[in-house]
Amino acid sequence: MDDQLPSRKAPIFCSLRYGLCLLLHFCNVVMMSQRMCLSLTVVAMVNSTDPHGWPNTSTKNLLDNIKNPRYNWSPEIRGVILSSILYGMLIVKIPVGYLSGIYSIRKMVSCALILSSLSSLLIPLAADAGEMPLIACRVVQGLGQGTVSIAQHVVWVKWAPPLERGRLTSLSLSGLMLGPFISLLATGFICQALGWPYVFYIFGACGCALGLFWFILFYDDPKDHPCISVDEKEFITSSLMAQVSSNGQHLPIKAMLKSLPLWAISLGCFAFSWTNHIMFLYSPTFISSKLHVNVTENGLLSALPYLFSWLLGILVGQVADLFLSRNMLRVITIRKLFTTLGLLLPSFFGICLCHLSSGSHSTIIFLILASSTVVFCVVGILINPLDIAPRYYGFLKGVTVLIGLTGGLTSSTLAGIILKQDPESSWSKIFFLMAAINVISLTFYLIFAKAEIQDWAKEKHTRL
């Protein structure tokens, strides 16, 4: 891989590839806003005016119920509704990863984003129809979002020169962090001013518009784009000349199963998702238990880690590509360095949260650091499959993301069990367990990780 890095320069500002990267960034912002907003709107959707579920019949509350319809959902039903989007995402990971190497990414991302957005527009109607239609709507939304989350990675197989993969990937994926920040800040104001249904209407409409823009502006191959400059087209195609396409190729499953570098990436993704789910899903609970603030303040404090993750995510891509362009570090060294930072720093700051934070300010600082430093992995393990097997990048992203999501679901479930059994010392147990998972996974990654195209991913390999 290191021998394939071109020395030729190409325009960055006003270039088409960075314009498309910015468009994908905003697609991720809207997609995550659609996913996250229900966690806040559910507070306004549930009838809590009476312990038995009977609504207050005062004139003020009758008017409010017209703007904010309320439903008698138990905590168990609410949990199923909130998590149902994950079932749709789980179903499509590997199939989309495989199909993204065969079919048009332009059509897949556009149709999937519009599907997610239409589901968002239908959520108020589905909620009126009952719990099951709403759950079904969220599952369909998960199918769309799961497709976008995997297919978008394949964009950079043909559009990202090797020296710019880090910054293009980190810039586009940083929208996944900005989306929850915007959602946490905007949802409360929209609910208060217009009513909770408008949260889904606004984010749904924005998603439909971006889906159409993506279909109009994006082309699967730079050579086919009518608006790209000659210099930019030549730069991208020449830098990727040694890279082959996966179209029509059979998957070397046996070789993949025997590949230690691929297992190293998969285990690293497991640890990354474990840490990510703990830090972002349980930050509001941690803030509430340690700082005892009200819901509004909790929402603002919970949004801060997303903001810092967004900023740091953009920065790490620039730094990684700077190391590459100046030949300061090899590709494998960069992958291992940033993976080490992305797994060890959250573990360290997480433990500091329990043992070194003496006041509210230190608690918030350590919480922001523990949550945001995990984004170092974006230019480490998360992009590493593109180094070892660019022709199968979509399929490998589907597999590794599915393994990572398994870690996230396990960690969030286990954390809930620990918190229920032992509220006093539970946070120490959660963060020490997270640190142990990260250290074990990182050790395996540092030993077996590679950044060269593997033999089974080259033009000539043994096929099943």
Do 372 and 309 meet the contact criterion of CB atoms below 8 Å apart?
A: yes
pLDDT of residue 15: 86
User: One-letter amino acid identity for 292?
Assistant: H
Do 305 and 184 meet the contact criterion of CB atoms below 8 Å apart?
A: no
pTM value?
0.80
Instruction: Give the rounded distance of the alpha carbon of 285 from its chain centre.
Output: 21
Largest CA distance in the chain: 75
CA distance 360 to 432: 21
pLDDT of residue 265: 96
pLDDT of residue 66: 60
Residue recorded with tokens 């300010």: 361
Do 33 and 182 meet the contact criterion of CB atoms below 8 Å apart?
A: yes
pLDDT of residue 1: 46
pLDDT of residue 335: 95
Q: Write the CB contacts of 122 (distance below 8 Å, at least 6 apart in sequence).
A: 137
CA distance 169 to 397: 13
Q: Write the CB contacts of 120 (distance below 8 Å, at least 6 apart in sequence).
A: 34, 141, 200, 203, 204, 207
Per-residue pLDDT of the chain (464 residues; tens, 9 = 90+): 444 444 455 556 578 999 999 999 999 999 999 988 887 788 778 765 443 443 444 444 544 556 677 888 876 787 788 778 888 888 898 899 888 878 899 999 999 999 999 999 999 999 999 889 999 999 999 999 999 999 998 898 889 888 888 889 889 989 998 998 888 788 878 887 888 899 999 999 999 999 999 999 999 999 999 999 888 888 888 888 765 555 555 789 999 999 999 999 999 999 999 998 888 777 877 887 778 777 667 778 888 888 999 999 889 988 998 998 888 999 999 999 999 999 999 999 999 988 876 678 888 999 999 999 999 999 999 999 989 998 888 889 889 988 988 888 888 778 878 877 776 678 889 999 999 999 999 999 999 999 999 999 886 644 44
Written as one string, the DSSP assignment of 383-426 is THHHHH-GGGHHHHHHHHHHHHHHHHHHHHHHHHHHHHH-TTTH
Do 303 and 280 meet the contact criterion of CB atoms below 8 Å apart?
A: no
Do 394 and 151 meet the contact criterion of CB atoms below 8 Å apart?
A: yes
CA distance 44 to 22: 33
Residue 245: C-alpha distances to residues 249, 458, 459 (Å): 8, 10, 9
User: One-letter amino acid identity for 307?
Assistant: L
Q: Write the CB contacts of 182 (distance below 8 Å, at least 6 apart in sequence).
A: 29, 33
Do 231 and 8 meet the contact criterion of CB atoms below 8 Å apart?
A: no
- 3-state secondary structure (DSSP) of residue 321: helix
Residue recorded with tokens 């238990």: 289
pLDDT of residue 132: 92
Instruction: Give the rounded distance of the alpha carbon of 298 from its chain centre.
Output: 22
Helix ranges (H only) for 282-392 are 283-291, 295-325, 331-355, 360-372, 384-388
Written as one string, the DSSP assignment of 282-302 is SHHHHHHHHH---HHHHHHHH
